[in-house]
Structure 1
Amino acid sequence: MNIKPIKSELDYNEALERIEELWGAKKDTPEGDEFDLLVTLVESYEMKHYPIAPPDPIDAIKFRMEQMGMTKADMVQYLGSQSRVSEVLNRKRNLSLKMIKSLYKDLKIPAEILLA
């Protein structure tokens, strides 16, 4: 096992190749340990060099609505009146703190996304 920090794209690509070779290694074996360490290093490198921006709050709401088979009418209980739902979903009105709390609590949309 020759594990080193990932400092360049070359190191990153080599680590990915080795991960492929180790895929399916049994846990608590030298190969399994090497796999776990390399995955951790790759995740750290990717977080630093390829960050994923959080989704837009309205897109997150629409996505959750689609996941749950909800309509705009279903959103009245979380956002207010039918006109307020339309304003929010059409980006003409910002989310209020009360709306954010309701969406977080009831629809499990992460607060950090709704506050963005």
Structure 2
Amino acid sequence: MNWKVLKTEEDYTKASMRMMEIFHAEPNTPKGDELELLLVLVKDYDERNYQLPELDALEVIKYKMQEKGLKAKDLESIIGTKGHVSAVLSGKREITLKMAQKLKDYLSIPAEVFLHKAES
């Protein structure tokens, strides 16, 4: 098939189905090239038509803490004193860039989670 920009849900479905058929195609082959193109087209369609919900950084931090069995005191080396940790986790104090960088690494949180609030 001669692929072009996906404009309808039907185009999107066809492209997605084909992408799944050739998902294991070898790179630098005709099917591999087709797969690369389909990935770009599907991603473009998704970005134009589907809005992902924004994640609240504090909720993600709390979830990751629970998932890893961490307590507030475990974040003191990253955020600062017990009072600072409490203020950040309660939303009374902003997460600084330095904190976000450390939390991202410590809790394995994508950096994008911290960016949404700054863009608002």
Matches within 5 A, 1:24-35: 24-35=24-35
> Is 2:117 the counterpart of 1:95?
no
2:8 partner amino acid: S
Aligned CA RMSD, in angstroms, stands at: 2.5
Deviation at 1:66, TM superposition (A): 4.4
Measured in 1, the distance between the counterparts of 2:39 and 2:102 equals 33
Fraction of identical pairs, as percent: 35
Higher mean Cα deviation, 54-63 or 65-74? 65-74
- Count of matched residue positions in the alignment of Structure 1 and Structure 2: 113
> Is 2:36 the counterpart of 1:36?
yes
The ranges of structure 1 where at least 4 consecutive aligned residues each deviate by more than 4 angstroms after the TM superposition are 66-69, 109-112
Change (3 A) 1:107 1:70: farther
Deviation at 1:63, TM superposition (A): 3.9
TM-score of the two chains, using structure 1 as the length reference = 0.76
In structure 1, stretches of 5+ residues that fail to align are: none
TM-score of the two chains, using structure 2 as the length reference = 0.74
